[in-house]
Amino acid sequence: MDTNVQRVKHLLKYTFGFVPIVAGLDKFSNILTNWSQYVSEGFAEILPFEPSTLMMIVGVVEILAGVLVLTKTKIGAIVVSVWLTAIALTLIFSWSYVDVAVRDLVMAIAAFSLAKLSDIKEVKASS
């Protein structure tokens, strides 16, 4: 595999591995932001528990997705891409945090790109 392609693949792998893990862990501490604010009022009303509990469940999913990217990159990248798309669509349908939705769609495309790069096999240079 071309060295630059390999570098891009590794950069995306570690980005989509560690960022979801950090964001997932933060769902338990709310250091980066108050994650419950992203739950729409209408959705919060139908939840059988507090929005903070939902965010902790989301956090667990994000941690698992990040670990999956680091261990089984192609599958993990597809999971992250679908997850980010689902988050973006939820935000778009509630018409809240549309800027975050756009950002998440761009990240979903990058995660999908990592999955496609994972199809490229490393070719050893012939002597």
Q: What is the pLDDT of residue 123?
A: 44
Q: What is the pLDDT of residue 10?
A: 95
The answer to whether 65 touches 45, Cβ cutoff 8 Å, is: no
The CA R_g of the chain, rounded to the nearest whole Å, is 17
User: What domain range includes position 42?
Assistant: 3-116
Mean pLDDT, contiguous 10-residue spans, the chain (127 residues) = 88 97 96 91 90 95 97 97 94 90 96 93 48
122 is a domain residue: no
Instruction: Please give the tally of structural domains in the chain.
Output: 1
28 is a domain residue: yes
Residue 48 CB burial class (10 angstroms; 0-12, 13-18, ≥19) = exposed
Q: What is the pLDDT of residue 119?
A: 85
Buried b / exposed e along 103-120 (16+ C-beta atoms within 10 A): ebbebbebbbebbebbee
The owner of tokens 């964001």 is 23
Taking the CA atoms of 7, 74, 114 and 21 in sequence, report the sign of the dihedral they define.
Answer: negative
Closest CA to 73 of 27, 44, 55, 81: 81
Q: What is the pLDDT of residue 126?
A: 42
Q: What is the pLDDT of residue 2?
A: 82
76 is a domain residue: yes
92 is a domain residue: yes
42 is a domain residue: yes
Distance CA 65, CA 79 (A): 7
Distance CA 56, CA 35 (A): 9
